Structure 1
Amino acid sequence: MSSFTLADLETIVAARASAPPDQSYTASLVAKGPAHCARKFGEEAIETVIAGVEGDPKALVAESADVLFHLMVLWKSRGIALGDVLAELDRRTSQSGHAEKAARPRT
């Protein structure tokens, strides 16, 4: 099993996002703005769903890696840190999923 973590990925994304856009794919995504990053994340999410439906484990792993990377890029473009998301997950998992969902504001 790999010792690579989401924190490692966050560090790499941050470093690459600060590079010149012509030298870094990550920086080029961030330079195009959050809307572009969100669309790219959406494309990768759809590809992940397709891989999940098709049942090819290798494709699902590869697409899942893409979706995690592009999610981190989207967060970077919006100034959101992994710790922010983990804190929200920690808050939510302190109660049952049904109770947490019932407590959400209705929209």
Structure 2
Amino acid sequence: MSILTQLAATIEARKTADPDSSWTAKLLAKGPDKCAEKFGEEAVEAIIAAVKNDRENLTAEAADVLYHLLVMLAARDVALEDVLAELERREGTSGITEKAARQP
């Protein structure tokens, strides 16, 4: 089991946890919109670290982005396995070809 799979399982378990006992439960209790907002904030922080060429901070912010992406997915009941399956489906397909095949 990968660390992302483990983290996704922990986040899923926190959906029913007491928000006073878990940051993840507290964030999930605030709803999908707040989870998406937090994901966006972390993504911006990662972008800033990348632009500043701050490798150490970028690594930390990238971890935050992955965590908050998983929280946002859980808030909308999208399983990590579904996202991974979509990535596998796209593997070996040119990005240009894949984008052209999408419905408008």
Equivalent residue letter for 1:61: T
- RMSD of equivalent CA atoms: 1.4
TM-score, length-scaled by structure 2 = 0.93
Instruction: Using the aligned pairs only, state the percent identity.
Output: 54
**Shift of the alpha carbon at 1:44?**
0.3
**What is the aligned length?**
104
Q: Deviations over 1:2-61 (max 9, x none)?
A: x85210111221223321001110001100000000000000000000011111111001
Q: Distance in 2 between matches of 1:55 and 1:15?
A: 36
Alignment of 1:1-107 (within 5 A): 5-106=3-104
What are structure 2's unaligned runs of at least 5 residues? none
What are structure 1's unaligned runs of at least 5 residues? none
TM-score, length-scaled by structure 1 = 0.90
